[in-house]
Structure 1
Amino acid sequence: MSHPRSPAPAVAPAAARHGWVHALVTALACLLSMLGVAALGLWAAGAADLPDGAFPRVVAATVVTSVGGSVELSGSAGDLAGSKGGLTVVPLSVTLTGALVLAAGFLRPLRHRAVAGAGELAGWALRVAVLWLLGLLALALAARQTFSVSLGRSELDDLGELFGVTPRVGFTTDVPLSLFVGLVWCAGVLVLALLVAPGAPLPRRLLRFQQSVRPAAYAMVALLLAYVALGVVVGVVVLLTRGHPAQTLAVLLLGLPNLVWLALTLGLGVTWEGRVDGPFGLPMPHVLDEVLRGPDTATLNLRTLAEHDGRTWWLLVVAAVLVLTAAFLMASRSPTRTRLWQHALHMAVALVLTVLAVCLLGRLSAHFGLSVLGIGDLGGGLSGRLFLRPHLWTALGLAALWGLVTGCLGGLLARGVRRR
């Protein structure tokens, strides 16, 4: 007597579809893409000529700083002299590249699904984060170097050798801090990917939030990427029509989002303050350097920029068009039952958080000094300072106002749009 055949075994668990091998590929793709963009940008900036074979270590340090890691500058100049320096800057072109690659790899095995368990998502994110941190640890340990700095003129070099004043500068990473901030960055990218991607699955308990959060998050990411795309077009035109192609390429590969997202805040009416002194400078556009260079702290906004170049008023027009487009995009992806005041509130909150992130990531600070017996600048121009910081609370208030107005207008424009 034949027995009924037992049912076929169930398909392998979901974790097997995105296990350690896929996590390794995702982490490696993220790190290699960031290293490639950083290396090309630094090569275009002339860093390949750094002494003592420092170029690979500078590339590693650039990737560490791109995720918020801490790189500490150090210096020595013999027994009679001292040097000091500091650097705080996030090369956002490298950051954005890594974030896009990491998010794409994380979301790929989750596509075509509506719901995923919290344990499954947490396990998959944990595998990616662990391998990402191991790669970041290797880069943080490699990002340290010390090399000599020329004093600029032969007689100064001879005098430095006579008195034992040969400046050496170096950099190293704060490994524990860099790993902690890198983990926060990785977690932020993965959470944002789940919030933004229309087809990304969420745990059942969070499904009720996706109708209010996901359209706004999607619209803000689209707004930031639209500015980057516009910056790429302008950068390519500058690259092809004006001089200094290597310098322009370096800016595109290292700091394009720093500039275009700064332009977004300026278009919204935000005021920044800063100063450029000594050998430091802002390579593109030149009008920024003109406004900020001087012995005193300068104010950077649409009015001060327009005093040097009237075309900067177009930043206001571009901001109005793109922010309103983002509000329309948000409203058109929201449920039809969403009220007008809810569109305004969602847009205001989203734009405030976006401007806050831009203001925190876009700040610059750099200084270096060399003195003998605590007095003077031996290098004849080696010392310098650069910083740029926003008026934060004013920026957030303006973002809230823009969000409320454009949210209402976007909701009105989207009333006739057919929604899924």
Structure 2
Amino acid sequence: MSLSAAPDLAVSRHGWVQALATVLAGLIAMLVVAALGLWAAGAADLPDGAFPRVVAATVVTAVGGSVKFAGNAGALAETRAGLTVMPLSVTLTGALVVAAGFLRPLRHRAVAGLPELAGWAGRIAVLWLLALTALALSARRTFAVSLGEGRLSDLGDLFGASSPRVGFETDVPVTLPFGLLWLAGVLVLALLVSPRAPLPPRLLRFQESVRPAAYAMVVLLLAYVVLGVVVALVVAVTRGHAAQTLAVMLLGLPNLVWPVFTIGLGATWDGRVEGPFGLPMPQMLDRVLRTPDLSTLNLSTLSEQDGRVWWLVVVDAVLLLAVAFLMASRSPARMRAWRHGLHMAVALALTVLAVCLLGRIDAHYGLSLFGIGDLGGGLSGELFLRPRLWGALGLALLWGLVTGFVGALLASRTRHHGELENPKD
């Protein structure tokens, strides 16, 4: 048996065990992060032993699954609820763990055939679907909502709505295909980003242009998460609210820092906060969005609350130049600077597109009697946050072109002797 065939045989013999370990590691990591985040947010006090069900539902939404809400408040009453948000801290944790498990058996390879990669990914996909199905079926529960005391409680007793109930369950037919799509995206991105991951021979010619840019964008997003963790820890130490800060870090830190990154580029988000809902963001952002009408979230509106917001532009510029330099340093020395700029522009636009799609938030809850809404007072509310997509993509292209070109010029000055420097035109 040749040495080159040994890895193939190892994967074929033990592929199912390794695939199972990868799937379990990813799910366990997400469940732990979700459980700790929900515990810090106070969800451990939910009645009827619902905490594990809510943890399962959080992981389902983290991989693109859908959770349906339903309510029953008596014959003459109605409850309405809806939620569209991905807890991106949980999503990021699962993606990193699953990607590491997927790449581990391939780390000593230079080239891998497409059938082999497809077979290895297929094993993971089959076990992932089985595990996700079990998790989705367990993510369901119904809660009783207290109306408190006073006029609202009296109306509830009168019309048989004294114990309104709202529940959730996973939409399994929607969750499974989206969960599989999430897994496919993670595996493909892992192959694109890792410099040591093997590719089929026909795709090797694309690695010089795709891999450095993909790696740079992942580093950029992770750098913003690290900065967010540092800021959150400083806030927790200096201003208190440690439990709330921990909940934000473990559930939705990327939901905060990645849209803030696009705002630093000049992008605008539209949103509104009404009722008891709140965003996992500083109070300054909540004040901007808590208005009677549609609010805009950008550098201009935020600077009216705090002029230090303009430092976001500086942070974006520094980090983008850093990752552009990193991208150029990992690219062939013969590549021209303008091509680096083009690659950076495309990669940054795709990254901003992903942030805009994943960072959307839409939540609402209401209680009505006789079809008359807003009787819930503090029980009714609405929250949404949506980007102005085309403007954000245009700004990303512009920033990418400039920083990619400048980063390539900086990298050309650090080439080792004997390498061909990048032409400057």
TM-score when normalising by structure 1: 0.96
Amino acid at match of 1:177: V
SS at match of 2:48: helix
Give the equivalent residue in structure 1 for 2:422: none
Q: What's the counterpart of residue 96 of structure 1?
A: 92
TM superposition shift of 1:208: 0.3
CA distance in 2 between counterparts of 1:91 and 1:208 reads 36
Aligned to 1:58: 54
Give every structure 1 segment of 4 or more consecutive aligned residues whose post-TM-superposition deviation is greater than 3 Å: 154-159
Conserved? CA contact 1:248–1:284, under 8 Å: no
- 1:260 is matched with which residue? 257
Q: Deviations over 1:347-376 (max 9, x none)?
A: 000000000000000000001111110114
8 Å Cα contact 1:274/1:388 also seen in 2: yes
The one-letter amino acid paired with 2:359 is G
2:270 pairs with 1:298: no
* Partner Cα distance (2:14, 2:351) in 1: 31
Rounded to whole Å, the distance in 1 between the matches of 2:142 and 2:205 is 54
Residue 308 of structure 1: SS of its match in structure 2?
A: coil
- Tell me how far apart the structure 2 counterparts of residues 159 and 251 of structure 1 sit (CA, whole Å): 36
Structure 1 residue aligned with 2:43: 47
Counterpart of 2:237 in structure 1 is 240
Q: Which whole-Å CA distance do the structure 2 matches of 1:84 and 1:155 have between them?
A: 21
Cα distance, 1:7 vs. partner? 10
Contact 2:99 2:186 in 1 (8 A): yes
Match for residue 16 of structure 1? 12
Compute the displacement of 1:236 (Å). Answer: 1.1
Over 3 Å counting, the alpha-carbon distance change for 1:370 and 1:211 in structure 2 is same
Residue 391 of structure 2, aligned match among 394, 398, 401 = 394
Structure 2 residue 280 is the aligned partner of structure 1 residue 280:
no
Residue 337 of structure 2 is aligned to residue 340 of structure 1: yes
Alpha-carbon distance in structure 2 between the residues aligned to 1:268 and 1:220? 15
Q: Are positions 1:316 and 2:322 aligned together?
A: no
Tell me if the contact between 1:145 and 1:171 (Cα under 8 Å) persists in the aligned partners.
Answer: yes
What residue is the counterpart of 1:200 in the other structure? 197
Does the 8 Å CA contact 2:252/2:280 hold for their aligned counterparts? no
- The alpha carbon displacement at 1:20 in A equals 0.4
2:69 to 73, 81, 88: 73
Match of 2:80 among 71, 81, 84: 84
> Is residue 2:172 matched to residue 1:141?
no
Deviation at 1:313, TM superposition (A): 1.1
Question: Displacement of 1:154 after TM fit?
Answer: 5.5
Report the CA distance between 1:156 and its aligned residue.
3.4
* Other-structure match for 2:360: 363
- 1:201-223 residue CA offsets vs partner (Å, 9 max, x unmatched): 11111000000000000000000
- Say if 1:144 and 1:173, in contact at 8 Å, map to a contact too: yes
- Distance in 2 (CA, whole Å) between partners of 1:67 and 1:283 is 20
Q: Quote the offset at 1:283 in angstroms.
A: 3.8
Work out the CA distance in 1 between the residues paired with 2:349 and 2:14: 35
Supply the distance in 2 between the matched residues of 1:239 and 1:189 (Cα, whole angstroms): 32
Match for residue 423 of structure 2?
A: none
Deviations 1:221-240 (A, max 9, x none): 00000000111111111122
Contact 2:67–2:169 (8 Å) recurs in 1: yes
Query: Is the CA contact 2:256–2:280 (under 8 Å) kept in the aligned structure 1?
Result: no
**Does 1:222 pair with 2:222?**
no
Q: Distance in 2 between the 1:7 and 1:26 partners?
A: 28
1:215-273 deviations in Å (ceiling 9; x for gaps): 00000000000000111111111122212111111000000011110111010000001
Contact 2:267 2:298 in 1 (8 A): yes
Separation of aligned partners in 2, 1:355 and 1:15: 36
Q: Quick check: 2:324–2:408 contact (8 Å CA) kept in 1? A: yes
Deviations 1:55-104 (A, max 9, x none): 11111110010111111111111001111111000000000000000000
Superposition deviation, residue 286 in structure 1? 1.1
CA distance in 2, matches of 1:405, 1:384: 43
Once residues 201 and 13 of structure 2 are traced to their aligned partners in structure 1, the CA distance between those partners, rounded to angstroms, is 20
What is the alpha-carbon distance in structure 2 between the residues aligned to residue 418 and residue 19 of structure 1?
41
Measure the CA separation in 2 of the matches of 1:410 and 1:152. 60
Residue of structure 1 equivalent to 2:147: 151
Structure 2: gaps of 5 or more residues? 420-425
Measured in 1, the distance between the counterparts of 2:187 and 2:34 equals 22
Counterpart contact for 2:325–2:404, Cα < 8 Å:
yes
8 Å CA contact 2:341–2:402 kept in 1: the answer is: yes
RMSD across aligned positions (CA): 1.7
Q: Is the 8 A contact 1:88 1:365 kept in 2?
A: yes
Quote how far apart the aligned CAs of 1:173 are: 1.2
Per-residue displacement from partner, 1:300-333 (whole Å, max 9, x unpaired)? 0011111111111111111110011111111111
Any conservation in 1 of the 2:37–2:251 contact (CA below 8 Å)? yes
1:85-128 per-position Cα deviation (integer Å, ceiling 9, x unaligned)? 11000000000000000000011111122111111111111111
Distance 1:376 1:187 in 2: 42
Measured after TM superposition, the shift of residue 18 of structure 1 is 5.0
Residue 152 of structure 1, CA deviation = 3.0
Percent sequence identity over aligned pairs: 74
Partner of 1:416: 413
Q: Which runs of 5+ in 1 are unaligned?
A: 1-5
Contact 2:11 2:105 in 1 (8 A): no
Aligned to 1:107: 103
TM-score (norm 2): 0.94
Is 364-373 or 377-386 further displaced after alignment?
Answer: 377-386
Q: Deviations over 1:113-156 (max 9, x none)?
A: 21111111111111111111111111111111111101132653
Partner amino acid for 2:140? R
